[in-house]
Chain A
Amino acid sequence: MRIGRNSRRRAILAGVVVIATGTFCWTAVQRLQWETTSELSAGSARLVSVEQLPDSEFCASGEATSAIATLSREFQDNNLFTALGETAVHAEDTVEVTRPPVRMIRDTYPIYSSIAVDPIRDEVVLQDTNQFGIKVFNRLDNTPPNVDATKPKRVIEGPDTKNEYNNGLYIDPKNGETYNLAMDTADAIFTFRAGAEGNTEPMRILNIPHRGFQIAVDEEKQEVYSTNQYPPRLLVFRKGASGNEKPLRVIEGTHTGLADVHGVAVDVQRKLIFVGNWGNYSNYKVAGSGKFLPPSITVYPLDANGDAAPLRTIQGPKTTLDWMGAFSLDPETGNLWVANDVGNSVLVFRGTDNGDVAPIKVLKGDKTGLDHPAGISIDTKNKEVWVSNMGNSSATCYSLTANGNATPARKIRSAPLGWKSLKFGKPQVVAYDSKREEYLVPN
């Protein structure tokens, strides 16, 4: 934009200056009115009000977004861009508005993402992805119906823990160390010493790529498997790796069948890796390469590396896979247990399954207490399986022989009976549905 040089433009400029001056005078009057009913804050910013407003409805014009055409004409008549070119009309200072929010939506209870059972220390460990903590319960805890919540025996929580959006959990059976994958914002695997409690720093931090999800460990080879949602890949690190140590190997490429990767389990005895895929795929290096594939479980040899094709793929409508979360493998049977989040179920597949197969067992129904199950952990010593429920702030425990609409053997609740979670998970933006007067929040 250039400032006009001819007389016509000068005339326009003069006219606009008059308009601008009028606007400033009007604004000054308005500000004066504000100042008479408020006090000044420090500096040049001005305090409008510190009064807590009531939670009731506020009055409104009711026609806020109408008359676009009329406003457009007004703008054309007063177009400061056109008239003033590069010369800015500066606000003199900033009015600081310090009213508290009139409303706040938040969930004050834990939202449990991942779970790990430690049969050696008789503990159940839960990741709270709402308040960013790790809550440890006694394995035999069972919240009575008339009690609002069971108090954890210890909690690892606080800024020094660096926990944010923790979503993958593993307890070292030998030394009790807790491996905790923090996805999306921290992008790291934090390891806490056995018995850690309170606002404690991790003993080890391994930086991993953005969008990690679950971890699994091969204790024989001392290797940690970490899934990466996108770009889709499975990274294998040396157990005990820290800092920016590179993975020992990475399964990644167009032949792998990996797409929006989530759960992982390793079968050390049968030398297999199981990986869960939601099916959202693209090659970020190629424009318009996106695809929507059906969800799948891809199976690889334990030593797979690079652009390895899966040995088998479990995929199709019979599987009922629906935004599956974590995996847990039963080492005795080789069966794969899947927390099937949106399916509100736990699915069990044979380790040898292939293609469009139905699960051999499905835990589902109103008696199960399952509500958006995201984490799962098998306790072979006690022949039980534990599930973390994102939807109701609980962990439910079942016999490994349970099937169908089974009642949990025990249930740990961290919210009152019947509680439904807000299901928050990193709300980055919000849209407003003016027709239904609703906030639309992506997770």
Chain B
Amino acid sequence: MAYARLAKENMVPVRILEGQKTQISRTMHSMEYDPVHDELVVNSPLTQSILTFKGGSGGEEPPVRVISGPKTQIQGTDYDGNDKMAMDTVNGEIYIGVATSGGPGKGVVLVFDRTANGDVAPKRILGGPNTKFAFPTPKGQGFPHMAVDPVRDLLIVSSRGALLIFDRTASGDATPKAVIAGPKTLLGGGGGLVKVNPENGMVVSSCAQGSICAWNINEPGDVAPRFKIPVEKITGINFSGPTLNPMYKEVIVTSSSRNRIATFYWPEIFDKP
């Protein structure tokens, strides 16, 4: 569903993409808009697939590309499927965390070219004990949120209370270049959605006590966040997200537990330090 940026209470969606022909299912836990190519990318956990739609799609419009098939190596779990995906719109790559036959804790991150279509192999695979990946959990949860900082050429993987920072093109059993983790970071154990503002290197994700926190990517280690919005304290509702809107210096969060979308004006995280 698409809502106008300035939509408020009881303002209906401006368009809806739905129905059998779209090939999407009710389970969607990641979605990315690619402003460079005006496309919408969403993963389909129930079919181990990644769907790309034209920007502005509506009604029962089918995807323009579908990454799906045995060569993709996309695999989920009984609980969450493969439900997290991210896009690097500058370098035209799609990232997806998947399970493997190795079982719990042996997940890997697959990287596809954004133009990939059909049954194609990933161009890179990142995973192994040195990566410190710890997904999926024995219950089949905990797939990582990811973000790419194209300025610093870094990949950030939010995995179980840690922000693991890799070279953007890291593959195989690579060691993280840096880690933001520890009690001072306020990062929780769940691995919240992560976004990065490449203009100033601020990494934004959910953190303890229902808050959204921002860390500087240049400050790895067990370091306190630079900024925090105590969303739950302000609104009384637990939120997830976030997504960044640099144009208007806004941070958008969702409440999957209470069916709401909130927008915060947060210029501090968009300003240069």
Contacts and interface: CB of A to CB of B under 8 A. Distances in A.
Interface of A: 1, 23, 26-27, 30, 45, 48, 53, 55, 57-58, 60-62, 64-65, 68, 71-72, 75, 79-81, 86-109, 111, 130, 164, 185, 209-211, 229-231, 260, 278-282, 284, 286-292, 294-295, 321-323, 342, 420-443
Interface string B104-115: 000000000000
Interface of B: 1-14, 16, 18-20, 23-33, 35, 38, 40, 42, 44-49, 55-56, 60, 66, 68-79, 81, 90, 98-101, 119, 150-153, 177-178, 184, 186, 193, 198-199, 201, 213, 215-216, 218-230, 233-235, 240-241, 243-250, 252-266, 268, 270-271, 273
B9 A104 contact: yes
A72 B20 contact: no
Contacts of A105: 3, 7-9, 11, 260-262
Contact of B226 (A53, A94, A231): A94
B118 to A, nearest CB: 11
B247 A290 contact: no
Contact of B262 (A58, A101, A284, A434): A101
Nearest to A76: B152
A27 B273 contact: yes
A290 B243 contact: no
Given A282-B47, A342-B19, A97 B2 contact: no
A322 B19 contact: yes
Given A106-B9, A290-B47, A211 B27 contact: yes
Contacts of A433: 2, 33, 35, 40, 55-56
A323 B225 CA distance: 43
A443 B2 CA distance: 11
Contacts of A429: 28-31, 193, 240-241, 243, 254
Contacts of B12: 420-422
Most buried by A among B4, B13, B228: B13
B245 A432 contact: yes
A287 B6 contact: no
Given A289-B70, A431-B31, A106 B268 contact: no
B154 to A, nearest CB: 9
Contacts of B257: 164, 185, 426
Contacts of A281: 46-47
B178 A436 contact: no
Nearest to A281: B47
A66 B23 CA distance: 34
Contacts of B262: 101, 103-105
